[in-house]
Amino acid sequence: MTLDASLFRAANSLFPSAVPLWTLLNDPAAALLLVAVALLVLWSGGSWRWAIPALVAVMVSDVVTSHVIKPAVGRERPCAVAGEVYAPLVNDEPHCGVGSSMPSAHAANSMALGTVLASPALVGVSLVVGVARVVGGQHWPSDVAAGWALGLAIGWAVRAALERALKWQ
């Protein structure tokens, strides 16, 4: 068994102990809620000028992840190929996500958001979201690590470009 598969099995075995939490964190609406809360915090804190760059970073991350890398890699999700896997239930059936597995768009998008906003709290949330994707049977650990790396790079690039071009801090 590969290291990726061993780590996946260990993490996925945690699913039954906290089904509602993992199911919530694996819901696509959770990612949208994260973005909405981040934008609300920016707006109310007077840092609204970072709202558009945050949206740009997340959109770029999502397009690159979902429409470029995932189709090129074509890796199947563990819940589709790993046999006995715990996964969230949708209409009383295990839900195995849509599309390919590598890289995790949830991990990439949430990390891009936390990085462009230079928010340790949002980066922490991204780490929890990524772990939840593995525990919930949707991704291999390497999918999540690749998503975090991609989100970090995109978030950093957007932030660095604005800081350099517009002297934003």
Domain of 62 in residue numbering reads as 48-72+101-169
Both tokens assigned to 164? 């350099």
What pLDDT is attached to residue 111?
94
Domain assignment present for 10: no
Domain assignment present for 111: yes
When divided into structural domains, the chain yields a total of 1
H or E segment to which residue 155 belongs? helix 141-166
Q: Where are the alpha helices (DSSP H) in 27-119?
A: 28-44, 51-63, 70-73, 78-81, 105-116
What pLDDT is attached to residue 149?
97
H or E segment to which residue 134 belongs? helix 120-135
Mean pLDDT, rounded, for 26-30 = 68
Sign of CA pseudo-dihedral 12, 152, 120, 46? negative
Higher-pLDDT residue of 55, 1: 55
Least confident of 5-9, 109-113, 164-168: 164-168
Domain assignment present for 159: yes
- The pLDDT mean for the chain works out to 82
What pLDDT is attached to residue 24?
66
How far apart, in whole angstroms, are the C-alpha atoms of residue 84 and residue 158? 41
Domain assignment present for 127: yes
Mean pLDDT, rounded, for 137-149 = 93
Place of tokens 């996500």: 97
What pLDDT is attached to residue 69?
95
Domain assignment present for 91: no
Asked if the model's pLDDT at residue 78 lies above 80, the reply is yes
Domain assignment present for 77: no
**Would you give the DSSP letter of residue 89?**
E
Domain assignment present for 155: yes
The pLDDT tens digits of the residues spanning 2-21 come to: 888 888 888 877 777 766 66
CA 102 to chain centre: 11
Closest C-alpha to 115, from 81, 143, 155 = 155
Domain assignment present for 167: yes
The pLDDT tens digits of the residues spanning 29-50 come to: 776 777 677 777 666 666 667 7
Contact 1, 111 (CB under 8 A): no
